[in-house]
Amino acid sequence: MAKTLLTSLKTARSGLHRTAKVLAAFVCACAAQTWGQTPGQPPKPPVWIGFDDAYGLKTNTSAMATEWGIKAALEEINANGGVLNGRPLKLMTTDNKGISARGKDNFVQLASTQDLVAVLTGKFSPISVEMLPEAHRLKVPLISVWGSADPITDHDHKPSYSFRVSLKDDWGVEAMMNRLSSKYKVRQACAILPNTAWGRSAEKVIQGKSAANVIQFPVVRWYNWGDASLNEQYQACLSSRTQGLLFVGNEKEGAILIKEVAAQPESKRMPVVSHWGAVGGTLHELVGEDLSMVRIDFIQTFTFINNKRPRAVYLADWILKNNALQSRHDIPSPIGAAHAYDTVHLLAKAIDTAKTTAPHKIRDALEKLPPFHGAVRHYTKPFTPNRHDALDKSQVLFVKLTALGHLIPQD
């Protein structure tokens, strides 16, 4: 019994010794942390990124998805020490409600924020174009993470304060033209376009590239935001005996078109290749069963489906972890999330390169960034003094929309 008691005492003494070592290590760690922080030292001020989009439009999913991409990048960057030797990156958002004048005012408001380095702009190209004079007057970088209209980066302002991590109509609309001719064997096509800077950008590409293309566009028809029907425009296409339709619009206009095409006799339902604004919202909910009656493809630059790029995997996992979504298929407006995620990482590199939050220095640094492996692509040289577009036609893909809202890559 004495031997057993002695053994128990040794075991207890050993346990106490281990406990003491753990407590000592904990105290040392706390002391080191307190020493590193220095009592009374104020936290380092944040560096701000602005983002303006149409949060107030109920059918729009682009603003939410883009914000997810921004926040995923911010969390990752801040966990690794932030920027400028420990300053956190933070997000400030504004809602333009789809109105250009409001977006312009929002840009001015964001640009006036101390230590704001750039404003990211969202889905509506005309709003980004409206902001351009203010971006150059205030000398604050504007970075489009969705808008595709050529004038966002093609303009006479020198030096240019506008950048884009998104599709550009110059090669995006050309890809849509090629889709009509290669997949649907269309030779004579019709275009239905909005009477905005976005629509005019698309028309310029159509007119400029039809001559050298096997597909021709004898008919171009226009509509205005808020029009309740596109049937007159569609009937003009049918009357001209065109075999396919190139459509530019957002989810509300896309829903009108799909419903009116579905109402036609089957022989008069032309195949449609649509710009991506139509799937930047709840189009599947707006059209219901009519979607299955129309042959329609949508252009994209990114998909989470079967994407093995490490940052694409990280971003998808982050979104699923932080939202009530079941799978990658359920992530809405994936291009907004991916473009914004890459953009914030590029901005963080520009801030550390510039070693300041001065926007004009950030602009200069963006033109000199090192290579970066992003979610969308590997950027060997994201921007140059003569090229402020980070993507190119090699990112183009086409998707189908399902009744559940999933965007399924084709081919």
The phi-psi region of residue 85 (left if phi > 0; otherwise alpha if psi is between -120 and 50; otherwise beta) is left
Q: Do 47-167+306-392 and 170-300 agree at the fold level?
A: yes
Q: What is the pLDDT of residues 79-96, one digit of tens each?
A: 999 999 999 999 999 999
**How far, in Å, are 48, 119, 346, 409 from residue 89 at the CA level?**
6, 13, 13, 34
**Would you state the pLDDT for residue 310?**
98
Q: What is the pLDDT of residues 57-70, one digit of tens each?
A: 999 999 999 999 99
| 365 beta partners | none
Q: What is the pLDDT of residues 261-299, one digit of tens each?
A: 999 999 999 999 999 999 999 999 999 999 999 999 999
In three-state secondary structure terms, 114 is coil
Count of beta carbons in the 10 Å neighbourhood of residue 144:
30
> Which CATH architecture is the domain 170-300 placed in?
3-Layer(aba) Sandwich (3.40)
Decide the pairing of beta strands 272-274 and 296-300. Answer: parallel
Angle between helices 125-138 and 100-111 (to 10 degrees): 30
Interatomic CA distance for residues 5 and 157, integer angstroms:
88
Interatomic CA distance for residues 345 and 74, integer angstroms:
8
Instruction: Kindly state the percentage of the chain with pLDDT values over 90.
Output: 88
Domain ranges of the chain: 47-167+306-392, 170-300
**pLDDT classification of 13: cutoffs 50, 70, 90:** very low
Burial of 353 (0-12, 13-18, 19+ CB in 10 A): middle
Domain 47-167+306-392 has CATH 3.20.20.80: no
Cut 0.85: pTM above it: yes
Interatomic CA distance for residues 155 and 17, integer angstroms:
73
In three-state secondary structure terms, 217 is strand
pLDDT of 20 strictly over 50: no
What is the residue-averaged pLDDT of the chain?
A: 91
**pLDDT classification of 210: cutoffs 50, 70, 90:** confident
